[in-house]
C-alpha cells in the first residue's frame, strides 16, 4: 500500500464511508502497480548498474553516457519532440478557436473527426505516411521518406487533437466581454489576440505543449517505421539494442536515460496541468460566435490541416491498399487469410482475432482497476494530510504515463521470467502490459464524471441509512456508466493498437495485428506490402469504430456532441496517455 493511501484513509467519514473502505478498494490497484510497474522499472534501473554476475558496476551507464552515438540519439529525440510540439501548437491554437469558439455547420462532426488520429495505432500511422511519401507514393517526388520532416509530420498528426481540445476547452469558457472592451478602446484584432486572449489561454497552451512534448519524446512506432536508421530516438535505440544486438546492459542504461527525460517532461506536464485546471475552474461557459471576416485565416488553416494533414495520409493508405499487380481490386484483402513470409507464422485474420482477444482481456483489467482508483480519487478528504495522501495516490497511478511502453516491455522481460511470477509462456503477459498502458487513460476518463456527482444526493441517501456499498451500486455507478462506456472505448482502442510493449512480449504463435503489420512492412515483396496496407486499414477501421461507439456512449445528454462532456480528462486538462508510449 502506498503511504498516500494509508494517510488518506485516516479521519474521513460521512458519505465517503469508513476510511478503511478506501484501503479495501485501493489495495488491489496498488498491488498491481507495485508488481507490474514498480518492480520491473526498478529491476531495469538496477540492471543498468550491475554486471553479468550481479555485482554493482557503473560500466554500462558510463559507456552509454560517454558514447557519441548516445548523445546524437538524445539530440534527435529532443529535436523531434521540440519540433513536433511547436508545430502542433502553431496549428492547434487556430483549430481550437475555430472548433470551440465559432458557430460553424458540422462543428460536432469535425470535433469527433479531429480526435480519431490521436487513438489510431502508431503502426497504422507510420504505414499511412510511408504510403504517401514512398517513391511510388503521391508525394514521393519530395524525397521525404525516412526524414526528419516525415517523423515530425506524423507526430503532429497524432497530437494536433491534444492542443485543439485542451486549448479549446478553455477558449470556449473565456468571457468575450473582455475582448469586446479592448476593441471598443481601439485595439486591433491582432493586439487583442496578443494582449488579452493569448495571456488568458496561456495555462491551456502551456499544458497542451508540455503534454505533446511528453508524447513526442516517448514516440516509438512512427519513428521506427518512418525514421529509418538516420532518425532514431532513445526509444528505438532501446528496441534495437535489445532485439538486434541482445545487449541488455546497454539497453538498460539507455532506459535509465529515457526515464530521466520522460520524468522531467512529466513534472512539467503536471505543473502546467494544475494551472490549467485552476483556470478552468474560474472560467464560465461562454457562447459561441458567428464567423467574421477576420476569422478567415484561422478557418483556412484549420481546413488545410484537417484535409491535408489528417485525412490525406489515411485516404492514401486506403487507396494504396486497393492497388494490386492486376490493377484496382480487393486482392490485398483477400490475401489476409494467407501467410506469405516465414517470419509471419499466422494469417492477418488470425492476428486480428489475437488482438481483439488480448484487447478485451486488457480492457477488463484496466476498467476494473480504473473504477477502483477513480473511486478513491473522487472521495472528498477533510484533512490536509488526507488531501496530500490522495494526491500521492493520484500521482502513483499517473506514473505509467511518464514511462514509455518500451521500457515497461523491457522491464517485463527481465523480471517476470522466473518464479514466483514466471509469465514468459503465458498469453496474459501482453494484456497486463496493455492494461498498464491504458490505466491512466481510464482513470482520467472516469474521474471528471465521478467528481461531477452532486454530494448532496449522496448525503441524503446516507442519512436514510445507505452505506458505501449501497451508495455505490444505487447512485454512483449508474451515474458514471457513460464515463465507463467512454473509458472502455479508450482502453480497448489503446490496447488494440499498442505496439511498444507488445513488440517485446509478443509470442511467435500469437502475434497481435500491429506486430504482424510491422513484420510485413519490414520484409521485401509486393505481396507483403499490399497485405500490410490492407491490414493497416482493417486496424484503423476497428479502432475508429471502437472510439466512435465510445464517444456516442460518452454523451451526457441529448444535444451534446461526442466529446463535449465525455472527452477524456487528459484532453481537457492536459493529463494524458503514455500511450503514447503505446505509440
The values of phi and psi at residue 328, to 5°, are: -80, 130
> Which of 33-37, 201-205, 274-278, 336-340 bottoms out in mean pLDDT, i.e. has the lowest?
274-278
The burial of 249, by beta-carbon neighbours within 10 Å (0-12 exposed, 13-18 middle, 19 or more buried), is given as buried
Beta strands in 329-420 (DSSP E): 417-418
Answer for the pair 416, 39: CB distance below 8 angstroms, yes or no.
no
> Which of 31-45, 205-219, 440-454 bottoms out in mean pLDDT, i.e. has the lowest?
440-454
The confidence score (pLDDT) of residue 368 equals 92
The confidence score (pLDDT) of residue 554 equals 56
> Residue 320: pLDDT above 70?
yes
The confidence score (pLDDT) of residue 504 equals 76
Residue 253 to residue 549: CA distance in whole angstroms: 42
Q: Shortest CA distance to 447 belongs to which of 372, 502, 392, 360?
A: 372
pLDDT band at 402 (very low <50, low <70, confident <90, very high): low
- 50 bridge partner residues: 56
Question: How many independent structural domains does the chain possess?
Answer: 1
Cell output for 108: 460536432
Residue 281 to residue 279: CA distance in whole angstroms: 5
Please tell me the chain's helix, strand, coil percentages from 3-state DSSP, rounded to the nearest 5. 75, 0, 25
61 falls within a domain: yes
The confidence score (pLDDT) of residue 283 equals 55
Q: What is the pLDDT of residues 558-573, one digit of tens each?
A: 333 333 333 444 444 3
Report the percent of the chain where pLDDT is more than 90.
14
Residue 112: CATH number of its domain: 1.10.3720.10
The angle at the Cα of 494, spanning 449 to 367, to the nearest 5 degrees, equals 45
Most confident by average pLDDT, 109-118, 270-279, 375-384? 109-118
The confidence score (pLDDT) of residue 19 equals 60
99 falls within a domain: yes
289 falls within a domain: no
pLDDT band at 267 (very low <50, low <70, confident <90, very high): confident
H helices present in 134-247, as ranges: 148-171, 176-184, 189-192, 198-217, 221-226, 234-243
The confidence score (pLDDT) of residue 226 equals 85
pLDDT band at 84 (very low <50, low <70, confident <90, very high): very high
Report the percent of the chain where pLDDT is more than 70.
84
400 falls within a domain: yes
Stretch 305-318: mean pLDDT: 91
Cell output for 45: 534501473
The confidence score (pLDDT) of residue 547 equals 78
> Residue 259: pLDDT above 50?
yes
The confidence score (pLDDT) of residue 182 equals 79
pLDDT band at 523 (very low <50, low <70, confident <90, very high): confident
Single pTM value for the model: 0.78
- 56 bridge partner residues: 50
**To which residue does cell 510485413 refer?**
520
Cell output for 131: 504510403
- Rounded to the nearest integer, the mean pLDDT of the chain is 79
Under DSSP, the state recorded for 220 is -
291 falls within a domain: no
> Which of 308-317, 464-473, 508-517 bottoms out in mean pLDDT, i.e. has the lowest?
464-473
The confidence score (pLDDT) of residue 569 equals 46
Residues with Cβ < 8 Å from 465, sequence gap 6 or more?
A: none
Stretch 174-190: mean pLDDT: 79
| Position with higher pLDDT, 8 vs 160 | 160
Q: What is the pLDDT of residues 343-353, one digit of tens each?
A: 567 888 888 99
| Position with higher pLDDT, 178 vs 320 | 320
Residue 140 to residue 130: CA distance in whole angstroms: 9
The confidence score (pLDDT) of residue 549 equals 76
Q: What is the pLDDT of residues 459-505, one digit of tens each?
A: 777 787 777 777 777 777 777 777 788 888 888 988 888 887 887 78
Stretch 255-284: mean pLDDT: 69
pLDDT band at 580 (very low <50, low <70, confident <90, very high): very low
| Cβ-defined contacts of 241-249 (< 8 Å, 24+) | 242/410, 242/413, 242/504, 243/503, 243/504, 248/47, 248/414, 249/47, 249/48, 249/51, 249/59, 249/60
Q: What is the pLDDT of residues 124-165, one digit of tens each?
A: 888 899 888 888 888 888 888 788 899 999 999 989 999 998
> Residue 359: pLDDT above 90?
yes
42 falls within a domain: yes
Residue 498 to residue 504: CA distance in whole angstroms: 11
The boundaries of the domain holding residue 73 are 3-284+296-582
Stretch 443-449: mean pLDDT: 82
Amino acid at each position: 500500500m502506498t503511504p498516500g493511501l494509508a494517510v488518506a484513509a485516516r479521519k474521513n467519514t460521512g458519505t465517503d464511508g469508513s476510511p478503511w473502505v478506501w484501503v479495501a478498494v485501493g489495495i488491489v490497484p496498488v498491488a498491481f502497480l507495485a508488481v507490474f510497474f514498480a518492480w520491473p522499472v526498478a529491476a531495469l534501473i538496477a540492471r543498468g548498474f550491475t554486471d553479468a554476475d550481479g555485482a554493482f558496476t557503473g560500466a554500462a551507464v558510463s559507456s552509454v553516457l560517454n558514447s557519441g552515438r548516445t548523445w546524437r540519439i538524445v539530440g534527435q529525440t529532443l529535436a523531434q519532440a521540440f519540433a513536433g510540439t511547436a508545430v502542433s501548437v502553431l496549428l492547434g491554437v487556430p483549430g481550437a478557436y475555430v472548433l470551440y469558439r465559432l458557430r460553424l455547420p458540422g462543428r460536432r462532426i469535425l470535433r469527433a473527426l479531429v480526435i480519431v488520429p490521436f487513438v489510431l495505432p502508431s503502426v497504422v500511422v507510420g504505414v499511412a505516411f510511408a504510403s504517401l511519401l514512398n517513391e511510388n507514393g503521391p508525394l514521393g517526388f519530395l524525397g521525404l521518406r525516412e526524414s526528419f520532416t516525415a517523423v515530425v509530420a506524423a507526430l503532429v498528426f497524432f497530437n494536433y487533437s491534444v492542443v485543439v481540445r485542451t486549448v479549446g476547452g478553455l477558449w470556449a469558457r473565456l468571457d468575450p466581454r473582455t475582448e469586446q472592451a479592448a476593441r471598443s478602446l481601439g485595439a486591433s484584432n491582432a493586439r487583442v489576440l496578443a494582449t488579452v486572449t493569448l495571456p488568458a489561454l496561456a495555462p491551456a497552451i502551456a499544458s497542451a505543449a508540455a503534454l505533446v512534448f511528453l508524447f513526442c519524446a516517448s514516440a516509438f512506432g512512427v519513428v521506427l517505421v518512418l525514421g529509418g536508421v538516420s532518425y532514431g530516438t532513445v526509444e528505438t535505440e532501446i528496441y534495437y539494442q535489445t532485439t538486434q544486438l541482445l545487449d541488455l546492459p546497454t539497453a538498460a542504461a539507455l532506459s535509465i536515460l529515457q526515464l530521466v527525460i520522460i520524468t522531467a517532461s512529466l513534472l512539467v506536464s503536471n505543473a502546467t496541468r494544475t494551472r490549467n485546471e485552476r483556470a478552468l475552474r474560474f472560467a464560465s461557459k461562454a457562447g459561441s460566435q458567428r464567423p467574421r471576416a477576420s476569422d478567415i485565416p484561422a478557418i483556412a488553416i484549420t481546413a488545410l490541416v484537417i484535409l491535408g494533414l489528417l485525412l490525406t495520409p489515411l485516404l492514401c493508405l486506403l487507396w494504396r491498399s486497393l492497388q494490386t499487380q492486376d490493377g484496382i481490386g480487393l486482392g490485398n484483402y483477400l490475401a489476409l487469410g494467407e501467410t506469405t513470409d516465414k517470419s509471419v507464422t499466422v494469417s492477418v485474420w488470425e492476428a486480428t482475432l489475437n488482438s481483439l482477444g488480448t484487447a478485451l482481456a486488457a480492457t477488463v483489467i484496466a476498467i476494473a482497476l480504473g473504477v477502483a482508483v477513480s473511486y478513491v480519487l473522487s472521495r472528498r478528504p477533510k484533512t490536509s494530510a488526507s488531501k496530500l495522501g490522495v494526491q500521492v495516490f493520484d500521482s502513483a497511478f499517473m506514473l505509467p504515463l511518464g514511462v514509455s511502453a518500451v521500457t515497461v516491455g523491457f522491464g517485463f522481460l527481465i523480471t517476470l521470467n522466473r518464479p514466483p511470477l514466471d509469465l514468459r509462456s503465458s498469453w496474459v503477459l501482453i494484456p497486463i502490459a496493455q492494461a498498464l498502458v491504458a490505466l491512466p487513460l481510464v482513470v482520467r476518463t472516469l474521474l471528471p464524471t465521478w467528481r461531477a456527482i452532486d454530494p448532496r444526493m449522496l448525503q441524503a441517501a446516507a442519512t436514510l441509512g445507505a452505506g458505501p456499498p449501497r451508495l455505490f451500486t444505487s447512485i454512483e455507478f449508474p451515474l458514471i456508466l457513460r464515463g465507463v462506456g467512454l473509458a472502455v472505448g479508450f482502453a480497448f482502442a489503446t490496447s488494440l493498437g499498442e505496439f511498444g510493449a507488445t513488440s517485446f512480449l509478443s509470442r511467435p504463435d500469437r502475434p497481435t495485428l500491429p506486430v504482424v503489420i510491422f513484420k510485413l512492412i519490414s520484409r521485401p515483396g509486393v505481396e507483403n506490402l499490399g497485405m500490410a496496407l490492407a491490414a493497416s486499414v482493417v486496424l484503423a477501421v476497428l479502432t475508429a469504430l471502437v472510439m466512435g461507439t465510445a464517444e456516442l456512449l460518452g454523451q451526457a445528454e441529448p444535444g451534446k456532441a461526442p466529446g463535449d462532456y465525455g472527452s477524456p480528462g487528459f484532453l481537457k486538462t492536459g493529463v494524458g496517455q503514455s500511450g503514447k508510449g503505446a505509440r
